Structure 1
Amino acid sequence: MVLIPLTLLFLIGAQLALTAHSRNIESNYAQNDASVRGISGDFTNGDRFLHLESSGDGQNLDLLITERKKSLLSLIPTFSLLEGRFISVYGIAIVENRR
């Protein structure tokens, strides 16, 4: 009698832990992508730039913003609240603008 609710409670807790861990991993990947693209200069169409005003004459800086999306894994197949949900995280890097 108690086994089914406890199993369901365990799966819900594991789903929450898996979601938090997935977000942290994707955040690390997004930050790595932003750093690598900022250093190499190989930008994609989804990258956004925000101009940063600086007080120096020769310093022309931009903030590179990258986005990474991934769908959530579901441990409970019939749990319909997670269908179509995804993790969206951003990575940022400072890029020297050569204009």
Structure 2
Amino acid sequence: MDHSRIYNSDGRRSVIRNQASEAIEIPSVCKNLKPLRLKYNQVCELLNVTRDCLRKIIENDVTFPRFMKDGTSRQSAVYFDTEEIEEWYRNYKAKCRCER
């Protein structure tokens, strides 16, 4: 890989890559893939709800998919499985339409 080193005014080094080295062809199969897991905020955007509303759904709806924690600490990232969220929404939508 061809790099050029440039020194900033404060003496730190920066690496600049040539444009030719950054042009990586991504296969078309990869462009259409869905993410396997979604972050908490991504689920909020997908369902068009606020964080507080999603928290209430998680607490009150036993059919809502359980989240996965990335670690054991309290601050660890929380993720949801994409397919489980989509399946829950399909069932939720069908349930809402049948009740009317």
* TM-score, L = length of structure 1: 0.27
- Looking at both structures, which has the greater relative contact order when contacts are Cα pairs under 8 Å and sequence separation is at least 6? 1
* TM-score, L = length of structure 2: 0.27
More strand by share: 1
